[in-house]
Structure 1
């Protein structure tokens, strides 16, 4: 992800520092989770704490930068799932894709799926949370139109479930528990069968 659209392009040295911090954050978050020390990230990037904070005024802004490429890939996968599957199976397969990423990201995905406190990120059309919500809404809308999912379910509900599952399964490295929990959630959003 580069700097935000509408802002001046970064100078070469600033761009290099930005990229170093994002790369270091990706490694540190993978090792230690999203609660890792920002000072450790700056140290690994070989920059000062002030440089890190100049580019990333909050932890959430840094998380967005680290997650952006993965989120773009997930959103593109949502479009592929929609083209290649019936609406219900498309939504369920994409929720599994999202769940796999959420579990493997060690809290990164859960951080972007919850309602963030940084109003500037929520207003940006390209923010990770906005992109994921848009993809989920489109798949859900199609699934509800074909009665594959109960009415009243919202995209934000599905994303909250995936975030909760990823946090609950964080200590199960194989992802099996997360898969089982998602299967239970999917059964819960299907239309109820009449007795």
Structure 2
């Protein structure tokens, strides 16, 4: 009897949680972590208490949304590693997706630039796994001669973060394509020989 009474409540709870997450994805993507938890509850059409039952703090909700993004990016980089395509195309294809995602989603940009709140152990593990896989994708592209060999994964992240930060500080309407091109140009192999000596 009590089990039968709990089943629809569990289903309602799942629906409410998904509604909250859906609303939070849109809100954080557009506005970053600054959007208040009560505002997310209002947009989701649920009470603030319902949100707090699933996510005790705004930071917990933000982390859940960021974790979803990281999980998707991890699946994407694994897929890029599994493809037997040209290593440079696989690397730059994934980098284009990651850059565009971070450019379009304020929450992911804040997570990448560490502008948001500290994350938990599970999210840190995901981020570490993503960095490791990305490093493998980069190394493969470097071995194929598609990416300059004097950079590592941390360098690439620094370039992406710098481009994202600079783009957000400017009032630029169409950044995504330009951001990718700027990052890609920095990573292309340099011509060999004494070019640029000024003579």
Provide the TM-score with structure 2 as the length reference.
Answer: 0.70
Alpha-carbon distance, 1:33 to partner: 3.7
Listed one character per residue, the Cα deviations across residues 107-166 of structure 1 (whole Å, up to 9, x for unaligned) are: 12212324562242444x4x4x34532442221121233343334533233234334433
Secondary structure of 1:149's aligned partner: coil
Match of 2:155 among 152, 157, 161: 157
Alpha-carbon separation, structure 1, partners of 2:151 and 2:46: 45
Alpha-carbon distance, 1:24 to partner: 1.6
Alpha-carbon distance, 1:182 to partner: 3.0
Alpha-carbon separation, structure 2, partners of 1:122 and 1:31: 21
Paired residues for 1:42-61 under 5 Å: 42-61=41-60
Alpha-carbon separation, structure 2, partners of 1:18 and 1:144: 43
Are the equivalent residues in 2 in contact too, given 1:87–1:148 (CA < 8 A)?
A: yes
Alpha-carbon distance, 1:183 to partner: 2.2
Are the equivalent residues in 2 in contact too, given 1:71–1:131 (CA < 8 A)?
A: no
Does residue 22 of the first structure (1) align with residue 33 of the second (2)?
A: no
Match of 2:189 among 159, 184, 191: 191
Secondary structure of 1:16's aligned partner: helix
Which sections of structure 1, spanning at least 5 residues, go unmatched? 1-9
Q: Decide whether aligned partners of structure 1 residues 163 and 14 sit closer, same or farther in structure 2, where only a CA change above 3 A counts.
A: farther
Are the equivalent residues in 2 in contact too, given 1:102–1:163 (CA < 8 A)?
A: no
Secondary structure of 2:118's aligned partner: coil
Pairwise CA RMSD: 3.1
Q: Decide whether aligned partners of structure 1 residues 97 and 31 sit closer, same or farther in structure 2, where only a CA change above 3 A counts.
A: closer
Alpha-carbon separation, structure 2, partners of 1:58 and 1:135: 31
Equivalence for 1:180:
178
Equivalence for 2:99:
99
Are the equivalent residues in 1 in contact too, given 2:77–2:130 (CA < 8 A)?
A: no
Which sections of structure 2, spanning at least 5 residues, go unmatched? 1-8, 195-199
Structure holding more helix per residue: 2
Equivalence for 2:86:
86
Q: Decide whether aligned partners of structure 1 residues 121 and 35 sit closer, same or farther in structure 2, where only a CA change above 3 A counts.
A: farther
Are the equivalent residues in 2 in contact too, given 1:110–1:164 (CA < 8 A)?
A: no
Aligned length: 180
Alpha-carbon separation, structure 2, partners of 1:80 and 1:158: 20
Which protein has the larger Cα radius of gyration, Structure 1 or Structure 2? 2
Are the equivalent residues in 1 in contact too, given 2:99–2:179 (CA < 8 A)?
A: no
Equivalence for 1:5:
none
Provide the TM-score with structure 1 as the length reference.
Answer: 0.71
